[in-house]
Amino acid sequence: MEMSRAGEARSKGESCTTWSALSSEGTASICSKSPQEIMALFGPHLTHREKLELAAMQEVWYFALYNKSEGCNNDGYDDQEQNYILFRHEHLRYRYEVLKKIGEGGQGQVIQCLDHKRNILVAIKILVSPSSSKHEIYQKMELQIALELQGEGSDEDFNVIKVLNIFHFRGHYCIVMELLKESLHEVIRNAGLRRLDMAMVKTYTRGILKFLRHINSRQIVHADIKPENVLVKDTVTGTVRITDFGTSFFVESQPMNVGGTLEYLAPELLLGYSLTCGVDMWALGCTVAELATGRELFRSNSHEDHLPRCIEILGMPPRYMVNGAPDRTQFFDHRGKMFCPGKKRVPGSFPLHKVLKSDDPEFVEFISSCLRVEPAQRPSSLLAQASKEKLKVVEEEETMVEELVEAELRQ
Strands, DSSP E only, in 25-140? 63-66, 91-92, 96-105, 108-115, 120-127
Name beta bridge partners: 97.
Answer: 91, 114
Contact 328, 320 (CB under 8 A): no
Closest CA to 268 of 277, 391, 31: 277
Identify the CA nearest to 118 among candidates 72, 62, 64.
62
Q: Are 65 and 16 in contact (CB under 8 A)?
A: yes
Give the phi and the psi of residue 313 in degrees, each rounded to 5.
-90, -40
Residues 112 and 105: beta-carbon distance below 8 Å: no
Write the CB contacts of 47 (distance below 8 Å, at least 6 apart in sequence): 68, 75
Number of helices followed by number of strands (H, E) in the chain? 14, 13
Other residues' Cβ atoms within 10 Å of the Cβ of residue 293: 17
* Sequence letter at residue 231: L
Per the annotation, the verdict on 305 as an active-site residue is no
Q: Can you spell out the DSSP letters for 270-284?
A: HTT----THHHHHHH
Q: What is the C-alpha radius of gyration for the chain, rounded to an integer number of angstroms? A: 24
Catalytic pick from 79, 155, 224, 244? 224
- Which residues are the active-site residues? 224
